[in-house]
Structure 1
Amino acid sequence: MTTFRNWLLLAAGCGLAGCAASPAPAPLTPPPAAAPAPAEAAKPPVALQYLYGSPEAAALVRATNARIADYGAWRIRERPKDSVVLAPGATMDAPTFEPCGSKPFAAVFDADETLIWNLGPMRYFAEKGTAFDPKVWDQWEKTGAGKAIAMPGTVAMVNALRAAGITVIANTNRTAAAAKGSEDTLRAAGLGEFRHGETLFLMGDDTGGSSKDGRRRAIASKYCVIILGGDQLGDFSQQFNVKDLPATQRMALATNAGATALWDKGWFLFPNPVYGPWEKLGWGDAFPSDKKWEPK
């Protein structure tokens, strides 16, 4: 993920599903007030239903993980000249990459909604109908081991990469202050050992804040990174997350020739309809005006 700390709101209830346009007329004699239904009786928001509960999302994630495992096995047969980490100053219009040399192979993944699904806090925020709370998330980072689960096919993918001699590294915007909690969470999800500073890189490890570019370059200085995986474009390059970048330009960056040559060919994107920079999009961003239609 880019960072949960930039997540403004996890919509719940009517915010996603919609409510009736007008209430029914009140009866002449109001009935006794009914006890409120427990929170568990309400359905989760649609985006959460899809990502965490639908077989459609499970199949899509599992297929992405299978492609990653196959790609890793294929890619190491012939040592690439360059990694898939963009070099300093590179742009998507003219991409250049960190050199591989004789460095060992690595695959670098985001953690949240890429290696693991954060079922605990996602349910909590949705049931409460509250915005993201950094204090709650900090507790989750420290104590969530055993409550987060590996995404479908992730354990098999990670094991296949390691068996092929590819080091698996997590580069996440979880905080360095809660490093042990993140190590424990990944291990409890069945993903093996991740060690802070070696195979686990966290926000606070450098001065880049939520930008992962510096951490990616630090990893690429020691490894030939042949795979990047994430659920947000910032998991591949911070240039997708430039402040106030117009939606049209962000779309162009992600779909130009430079990016197209990388998607599913070293860069692997996981579905996440729950949160992300795209939450800021307006009607005009999502629906071209020349495609507007109304029934007669």
Structure 2
Amino acid sequence: MRGLALGATLLLAGCASVPAELAPAPVPPAAPSEAAKPAAQLQYLYGSPEAAVAVRATNARIADYGVWRIKERPKDSVVLAPGATMDAPAFEPCGDKPFAAVFDADETLIWNLGPMRWFAEKGTAFDPKIWDQWEKAGAGKAVAMPGSVEMVNRLRAAGITVIANTNRSAANAKGSEDTLRAAGLGEFKHGETLFLMGDDAGGSSKDGRRAAIASKYCVIILGGDQLGDFSQQFNAKDLPAAQRMTLATSAAAENLWDRGWFLFPNPVYGPWEKLGWDDAFPSDKQWEPE
């Protein structure tokens, strides 16, 4: 959500009025020559056939999984129970609750093309006031991600309730309902099939909202573009990058990825933007030409 400045702008934070994934950090504006075309990550996610194919394939896997999973009623949902950890995972029981699939909204069900282009062309950092306007009046300018309409329709046809759990503001609930509808994703109703930041005291953490959903539904699918869409454990304050990687690639997590937990590609923003050279390129793998 920026020009070339996007690479460091949208760090995860618990902002009360904007999605935590999109919280601002000061970044110098891009020079006019740099803003002549979108940043590479924007080109990839929103304009490349490579990204379109990857996203469509993820949505197809989700639909196939959901239709298959309900054939044999699962004992547990894929929502971690309160107090459970990735080291000792335990899940909310299903009982005879109806089935549901829970998704993030931004860069999971929809692409926010309107503000993404605006910030990039202006070469500015993320502005919460602009984002607030987008939440209220962006309907028709966001688009459904490739394959998401087909995926949502297949799940609903199979009897699976589709729910959005997003860090958009509860104060702008109608705008988000309108945006999802205008993108072709059907009806979402705040408090029933649309859960927003401000619905509880958890701030940007979605754990409380997930628990509320899991108390009424057997959640067989979680989908998102950030690890916080699955558990706030991945966003623990001061969690070292190496430990975050370990949590996400542990044996317990590996049993969930593409088996109830589905992650969408998003190179545009996320908590990984805090990584340093040694986080991305381990020092013992350094190489220099002779």
1:3 is aligned to 2:58 = no
For 1:50, the aligned partner's letter is Y
Residues of 1 paired with 2:59 and 2:22: CA distance?
27
Residues of 2 paired with 1:10 and 1:73: CA distance?
45
Residues of 2 paired with 1:6 and 1:99: CA distance?
34
Q: How does 1:56-205 map to 2 (within 5 A)?
A: 56-205=50-199
Residues of 1 paired with 2:136 and 2:214: CA distance?
28
- Give the match for residue 229 of structure 2: 235
Residues of 2 paired with 1:231 and 1:252: CA distance?
18
Deviation at 1:7, TM superposition (A): 4.1
Deviation at 1:8, TM superposition (A): 2.4
Say whether the 8 Å CA contact 2:163–2:188 is kept in structure 1.
yes
- Give the match for residue 214 of structure 2: 220
Say how many residue pairs are matched.
Answer: 273
Deviation at 1:163, TM superposition (A): 0.2
Say whether the 8 Å CA contact 1:212–1:234 is kept in structure 2.
yes
Residues of 2 paired with 1:121 and 1:51: CA distance?
15
Give the unaligned 5+ runs of structure 2.
Answer: 1-11, 13-18
Please, which of 261, 280, 286 is the counterpart of residue 267 of structure 1?
261
* Of 285-294 and 221-230, the range deviating more from structure 2: 285-294
Residues of 2 paired with 1:227 and 1:188: CA distance?
24
Q: How does 1:273-288 map to 2 (within 5 A)?
A: 273-288=267-282
CA deviations 1:101-142 (Å, max 9, x no partner) are 000000000000000000001111111111110000000000
Larger Rg: 1
TM-score (norm 2): 0.91
Deviation at 1:37, TM superposition (A): 7.6
Residues of 2 paired with 1:269 and 1:227: CA distance?
11
For 1:85, the aligned partner's letter is V
Give the unaligned 5+ runs of structure 1.
Answer: 15-35
For 2:229, the aligned partner's letter is D
CA deviations 1:193-221 (Å, max 9, x no partner) are 00000000000000000000000000000
Say whether the 8 Å CA contact 2:77–2:214 is kept in structure 1.
yes
Pairwise CA RMSD: 1.7
For 1:242, the aligned partner's letter is A
Deviation at 1:4, TM superposition (A): 3.8
Residues of 1 paired with 2:240 and 2:67: CA distance?
38
Residues of 2 paired with 1:10 and 1:90: CA distance?
37
Q: SS of the residue aligned with 1:268? A: strand
TM-score (norm 1): 0.89
CA deviations 1:128-162 (Å, max 9, x no partner) are 11111000000000000000000000000000000
Residues of 1 paired with 2:75 and 2:34: CA distance?
58
Say whether the 8 Å CA contact 1:145–1:184 is kept in structure 2.
yes
Q: SS of the residue aligned with 2:125? A: coil
Q: SS of the residue aligned with 1:294? A: coil
Deviation at 1:38, TM superposition (A): 11
Percentage identity across aligned positions?
82
For 1:268, the aligned partner's letter is F
Residues of 1 paired with 2:102 and 2:96: CA distance?
18
Deviation at 1:13, TM superposition (A): 4.8
Q: How does 1:22-41 map to 2 (within 5 A)?
A: none
Over 3 Å counting, the alpha-carbon distance change for 1:222 and 1:85 in structure 2 is same
Residues of 1 paired with 2:70 and 2:21: CA distance?
34
Say whether the 8 Å CA contact 1:112–1:118 is kept in structure 2.
yes
Say whether the 8 Å CA contact 1:8–1:131 is kept in structure 2.
yes
For 2:287, the aligned partner's letter is W
Say whether the 8 Å CA contact 1:9–1:131 is kept in structure 2.
yes
Q: SS of the residue aligned with 2:191? A: coil
For 1:196, the aligned partner's letter is H
Deviation at 1:6, TM superposition (A): 2.5
Say whether the 8 Å CA contact 1:85–1:217 is kept in structure 2.
yes
